[in-house]
Amino acid sequence: MSEAIVAVEGLSKRYGSVRAVDDVSFAIAPGQTVGVVGESGCGKSTTARLIMGLERPSGGTLRFRGEPYGSSARALRPVRRAIGMIFQDPYESLDPRFSVRELIAEPLRAHGRWRDGGETRVGELLEAVGLGSVSLRAAPTEFSGGQRQRLGIARALALDPAVVIADEPTSALDVSVQAQILNLLLELQRERGIGLLMISHDLHVVRRMSDTIVVMYAGAVMEQGPASEITARPRHPYTRALLDAIPGTSPSARRLVGRPRTASGIASAASTGCPFATRCPRVDDRCRSERPPLTGVPHAVACHYPESA
Amino acid sequence: MARYLSLRIVLGLISIIGVVLLTFMLQFLLPGDPAKRIAGPRAEPEVLATVRANMHLDDPVTTQLAAYVGSVARGDLGISYIRRRPVVDLIGERLPTTAWLAAVGLLVELTLGVGLGLWDGLRRERSRGLAAVNVLLLSVPTYSLGFLLLLVFAFKLDWLPPGGGTGPLDLVLPGLTLGLFGVPYYAAVVAESTRAALAASFTRTAVAKGLPRRLIIRRHVLRTCISPVITLIGLDMALYISGVVFVETVFAYPGIGSLQEQAFTEFDRPVLMGTVIIGAVVVIAFNLLADVVRALVDPRAQVQDAG
Amino acid sequence: MSAHVEVRDVNVRYGDFQAVTGASFAIERGTTLALVGESGSGKSSLAFAIGRLLPPGGEIASGTVRIGDVEVSSLAGEELRRARGRVVGYLAQDSMAALNPVLTAGLQIAEVYAARDGVSRSQAKRHAVEMLAQVGIQRPEKVAGMYAHELSGGMRQRVMIAMALALRPQLLIADEPTTALDVTVQAEILALARELQREHDVTFLWITHDMGVVAEIADAVAVMYGGRIVERGPAGAVFSDPVHPYTQALLATMVGAQEAAPKTPFAAIGGSPPTGAPPPGCPFHPRCAHAFAPCNGDMPATVSLGADHTAACHLLGVPA
């Protein structure tokens, strides 16, 4: 996609022999959402950190509006200004010693945007996230979890980002509050044309929020494509497993009964062959020895024996 | 574990080399002419020149350094200017004496510190008792504590010898002074870890399983306190050694500490440098030992090393 | 014929703060009651009260808890200790924190036996390995020698289940045991819990905030908000005919997330759960779409809707 704001091409990150992120590619376009989904340790958060330049990639290219950017502080400055970040835990990501005003003013000051109308900007941002009536002098500790996450979103929006990365933005919140936050993100995206990178372990949240879904396992992409395709017609056994693991919506529609029940030591990804081979129900010798490439457009799958489309 | 251990040993050796270099440079800061210390203040210039030549004092600094490092590496710390005996022998003679003192001090420190810490940590609320003991021990300077004990128990009550000897009774007052100094720190660390362990989720699990309280405390709470105590012993070792030197001086206890103190007042460079190097070796060795012991009692420590 | 577990009119207080008010429910042997609520709902306080695990300062101010023929709420001292693990067991949410980091998994199960009956050390160890096998762990001897940090989240939770079930408690309180797990592992643990229930007649009080988990595991449901049970009943009835607006909203949130079209707004409940003392009247009224005059004044009475289904809402007093 030529109009992509942020593009990731063959992105990789190794820690010693561990492939935390392995040849991941996607592009975030204005007003569009890329959802990255997978279990803990699949590399989804590392991918976000690599994009933000918080870690140095081992391979691949990161592009901002078509131009590759490196990991030097100077190259990252305009990128970081254009990417807002929303964190999982609104209790830990906001410094309790700061007031509401200071929390939102901080990114403005850091990027020299405070002088011209910083004060009014703080008011606008709070209004935009539905905190128009709170005191500017309040401390974040006086707020509920949902309000803190709204504050986190206001901070992420302070510099008018073109892209927002949301790393599990609702998993620390009460269920009755999660929907408010997701609706706020949808609304802000619609109003401002923000490109969103939504990282979550919850395939249903990702499906509802995203245009494109990237399913990751052990650092690698298992399946990637249009959101509706991935959830309605999953082709990779791992995507199928993720969907099957989601509880039903009523006691009359239980889905998790009679599943295999043994567990062995520590789960490990296969070193050669398909990373999912150790857990795959359809595994055979080819899967253990030969790594399947990611193929297919727009619905790509990395499996020797994908479910038929 | 093996990789971690060898890395730590290599790092320890590097630190010891650093200390050797530092002590070598330090000797140039000491006042007085070594040749005069040996030949006497009224020695003839020719005699002084001979002594200087024998001691290689006129050689270039680099040559002297190479010779010094070489002999230290061979275990030769030189010969005392005053006592005219090998420094290694002087230190060797006094090592057991000092080791006894250090051991008694550590025993006092651990028994009282851990005991007080547990007593406080197992109570629901922080006790005033511990706070009072801490204020007392932390606000009284060590030297006055030593002199106070000396005054009361040796001179006033005449229960214990005032010092100079090496018998078991001679160990009591110096050991107590040395140990009391560290008590507040151990008590605080133990009280905090006990409190944390009691409030921990795993203690709730143990309670929910119906374990007797005594077993919960012995197995679940105390086990998790061992690791921080060992860490503290390692961290405190450098300070502890300076405590040994000080206590030996106050009580005229004939160990390595008082040897070092005398060497300092007598400008006996080889003895001073030798005792400093020995001190550094002991500190480094104990830190290493503390890490190894901690890795043995705390399974989590091993994992961090592997990564 | 009275129920296997009976919780009657329990109030839990921490000093001046009333965390749970008038909680009552019953659980039949070999079934699961899901206690549903968000932060501040009082569900954990109620669970701790039933398991007699309230932290210092917390107390059962009034009410009774009976499990089997033991009145748990009046136990004390050695009697209480003996009841733990045998009458009522507890399964914690965060298995990493709930297992002792410096003791092996095997020892932590074995000590449950060793502390009783005069079972020998080697017998206790054998029992522990058997329990690990029973919760579906392959190579249980090896896992028995491992520490918490060496195990995956799912394995740790299986170890916790083995430990909690070691003495075959009459009631097992499961305090959000799958919340910290990946969905795939959660599915395994839920399936395991149901299988253990089928095989060994385990009775569960399952604490959760996730209606999906409730749908999978519960025979009966009690929904808590602001320290009170606002609705309870058989799972089928509560899911098909939710009466309280809060239950309705929770279900709408879940069903909507799974079925609605992409990029359309989620069904949301405004506001947030109360953090301190709940407001006067019905605790849910500040967030309720149907709130009317009496809601901010009186606490609505609990009304029976037949077949064990009850709810506390002023709308029930309004003629249709």
pLDDT tens column, C169-200? 999 999 999 988 888 889 989 999 999 999 99
pLDDT score of A266: 42
Confidence of residue B205 (pLDDT cuts 50, 70, 90): very high
Considering only CB atoms, A262 lies closest to which of C138, C253, C264, namely C138
Provide, as residue numbers in chain C, all residues whose Cβ is less than 8 Å from the Cβ of B297.
102
**C111/B211 CB distance under 8 A:** yes
**B210/C51 CB distance under 8 A:** no
Compare A71 and B216 and report the one with higher pLDDT: B216
Average pLDDT over residues A255-281: 66
Considering only CB atoms, B202 lies closest to which of C53, C84, C98, namely C98
Query: With pLDDT > 90 as the criterion, what percentage of chain C qualifies?
Result: 61
CA distance A40 to A52: 20
Top mean-pLDDT range of A166-175, B154-163, B270-279, C79-88: C79-88
Compare A285 and B168 and report the one with higher pLDDT: A285
HSE-up of A240 (CA within 13 Å, CB side)?
16
CA distance A219 to A276: 11
Top mean-pLDDT range of A248-257, B137-146, B234-243: B234-243
- On average, the pLDDT of chain A sits at 86
Buried b (16+ CB within 10 A) or exposed e, C161-197: bbbbbbbebbbbbbbbbbebbbbbbbbbbbbbbbbbb
Confidence of residue A224 (pLDDT cuts 50, 70, 90): very high
Closest Cα in chain B to C114: B211
Supply the DSSP string of A43-76, one letter for each residue: SHHHHHHHHTTSS--SEEEEEETTEE--SSHHHH
Tell me, yes or no, if C90 comes closer than 8 A to chain B by beta carbon. yes
Tell me, yes or no, if C288 comes closer than 8 A to chain A by beta carbon. no
Answer yes or no: is pLDDT of A270 > 70: no
Confidence of residue B306 (pLDDT cuts 50, 70, 90): very low
Q: Select from A243, A255, A261 the residue whose CB has the most chain C CBs within 10 Å, as the one to mutate to test that interface.
A: A261
pLDDT score of C34: 96
Nearest CA-CA partner of A53 in A29, A82, A26 = A82
pLDDT score of A70: 82
Query: With pLDDT > 70 as the criterion, what percentage of chain A qualifies?
Result: 94
Tell me, yes or no, if C133 comes closer than 8 A to chain A by beta carbon. no
A308: number of Cβ within 10 Å: 6
Average pLDDT over residues A155-163: 90
pLDDT score of B227: 87
* A145 Cβ contact list (under 8 Å, min separation 6): A90, A91, A172, A173, A174, A177, C39, C272
Confidence of residue B164 (pLDDT cuts 50, 70, 90): low
Compare A300 and C260 and report the one with higher pLDDT: A300
Average pLDDT over residues C268-274: 82
Compare C203 and B62 and report the one with higher pLDDT: C203
Confidence of residue B4 (pLDDT cuts 50, 70, 90): confident
CA distance B265 to B261: 7
Closest Cα in chain C to A252: C236
**C150/A208 CB distance under 8 A:** no
**C103/B220 CB distance under 8 A:** yes
**B298/C102 CB distance under 8 A:** yes
Closest Cα in chain C to A239: C184
Confidence of residue A143 (pLDDT cuts 50, 70, 90): confident
Of B175-189, C4-18, C41-55, C98-112, the least confident: B175-189
Question: C122: distance to nearest CA of chain B, Å?
Answer: 18
Chain B with chain C: Cβ pairs closer than 8 A: 83
Closest Cα in chain C to A148: C272
Top mean-pLDDT range of A205-219, A276-290, B18-32: A205-219
Tell me, yes or no, if C169 comes closer than 8 A to chain B by beta carbon. no
Nearest CA-CA partner of B261 in B281, B288, B240, B242 = B242
Considering only CB atoms, B212 lies closest to which of C51, C115, C166, namely C115
pLDDT score of B302: 59
Considering only CB atoms, C163 lies closest to which of B209, B223, B303, namely B209
**C235/A251 CB distance under 8 A:** yes
Return residues 189-248 of A near C (CB < 8 Å): 201-205, 207-211, 227-228, 241-242, 244-248
Task: Report whether B145 contacts B217 (CB < 8 A).
Answer: no
Confidence of residue B139 (pLDDT cuts 50, 70, 90): confident
Closest Cα in chain C to B211: C115
Answer yes or no: is pLDDT of C320 > 50: no
Q: Give the tens place of pLDDT for each residue, B280-295.
A: 888 888 888 888 888 8
Average pLDDT over residues A240-257: 80
Cα Rg of chain B (Å, integer):
24
Average pLDDT over residues C298-318: 86
Return residues 71-100 of A near C (CB < 8 Å): none
| Token code pair at residue A243 | 């969907």
The reply to whether ipTM tops 0.85 is yes
Question: C134: distance to nearest CA of chain B, Å?
Answer: 18
Q: Give the tens place of pLDDT for each residue, A7-50.
A: 999 999 998 888 899 999 999 999 999 999 998 888 999 999 99
pLDDT score of B2: 73
| Token code pair at residue A266 | 């520590």
Task: Give burial (CB, 10 Å; 0-12/13-18/19+) of B294.
Answer: buried
Answer yes or no: is pLDDT of B216 > 60: yes
pLDDT score of B1: 65
Q: Give the tens place of pLDDT for each residue, C207-258.
A: 999 999 999 999 999 999 999 999 999 999 999 999 999 999 989 887 665 6
User: pTM, whole model, 2 decimals?
Assistant: 0.85
Answer yes or no: is pLDDT of B305 > 50: no
Question: B199: distance to nearest CA of chain C, Å?
Answer: 9
**C273/A244 CB distance under 8 A:** no
pLDDT score of A265: 42
Answer yes or no: is pLDDT of C275 > 80: no
Chain A with chain C: Cβ pairs closer than 8 A: 166
CA distance C262 to A229: 12
pLDDT score of A205: 86
Number of residues written out for chain B: 307
Tell me, yes or no, if A297 comes closer than 8 A to chain C by beta carbon. no
Provide, as residue numbers in chain A, all residues whose Cβ is less than 8 Å from the Cβ of C194.
257
**C85/B209 CB distance under 8 A:** yes
**C192/A261 CB distance under 8 A:** yes
CA distance A21 to A62: 13
A107: number of Cβ within 10 Å: 20
**C265/A178 CB distance under 8 A:** no
* B207 Cβ contact list (under 8 Å, min separation 6): B216, C53, C84
Question: B198: distance to nearest CA of chain C, Å?
Answer: 11
Return residues 216-245 of C near B (CB < 8 Å): none
Average pLDDT over residues A111-127: 84
Which partners does chain C have (≥3 C-beta pairs < 8 Å)? A, B
pLDDT score of A309: 64
pLDDT score of B175: 86
